[in-house]
A and B are shown apart, each in its own frame.
Chain A
Amino acid sequence: MSDHAAHHPINYVRIWFILVALLIVSVAGPMLGHPIITLITAFGIACVKAVMVARNFMHINLEQRYISYVIITVLVFVFLFFAGTSPDVMKAEGSGWVKPSWQAAASAANASEGGAAHH
Chain B
Amino acid sequence: MSASARPIANTRSAAGIPTGKLAVWWVVASEIVIFGGLLAAYVMHRLAHDAWSVQAAHTNTWIGAFNTMVLLTSSLSAVLAHQAAERGDGPKAARLLGATMIGALTFLAVKAFEWTEEISHGFTITSSTFWSFYYTAAGLHASHVIAGAILMAWVAKDAAKNLELHRVELIGIYWHFVDIVWIFLFPLLYIAK
Contact = CB atoms under 8 A, between A and B. Distances in A.
A binds B: yes
B83 A82 contact: no
Contacts of B183: 46, 49-50, 53
Contact of A53 (B41, B69, B179): B179
B110 interface: no
Contact of B37 (A15, A26, A30, A78): A78
Given A19-B72, A74-B33, A27 B44 contact: no
Contact of A64 (B16, B61, B72): B16
Secondary structure class of chain B's binding surface, majority of residues: helix
Interface in A1-31: 1, 6, 12-13, 15-16, 19-20, 23, 26-27, 30
A7 to B, nearest CB: 13
A110 to B, nearest CB: 17
Interface stretch (B4-12, B131-139, B154-162, B170-178): B170-178
A42 B17 contact: no
A27 B32 contact: no
Contacts of A116: none
Secondary structure class of chain A's binding surface, majority of residues: helix
B61 A74 contact: no
B173 A58 contact: yes
A77 interface: yes
Contact of A54 (B48, B180, B191): B180
Contacts of B172: 57-58
Interface of B: 15-17, 25-26, 28-30, 32-33, 36-37, 40-41, 43-45, 47-48, 61, 65, 68-69, 72-73, 75-76, 78-80, 82-83, 86, 169, 172-173, 176-177, 179-180, 183-184, 186-187, 191-193
State the 3 A-B residue pairs at the shortest beta-carbon distance, nearest first. Answer: A78-B36, A42-B187, A82-B40
Given A1-B83, A57-B78, A85-B44, 16 more contacts: A16-B72, A26-B187, A27-B191, A38-B191, A42-B187, A50-B180, A50-B184, A57-B172, A57-B176, A64-B15, A70-B29, A71-B32, A81-B37, A82-B40, A82-B44, A86-B40
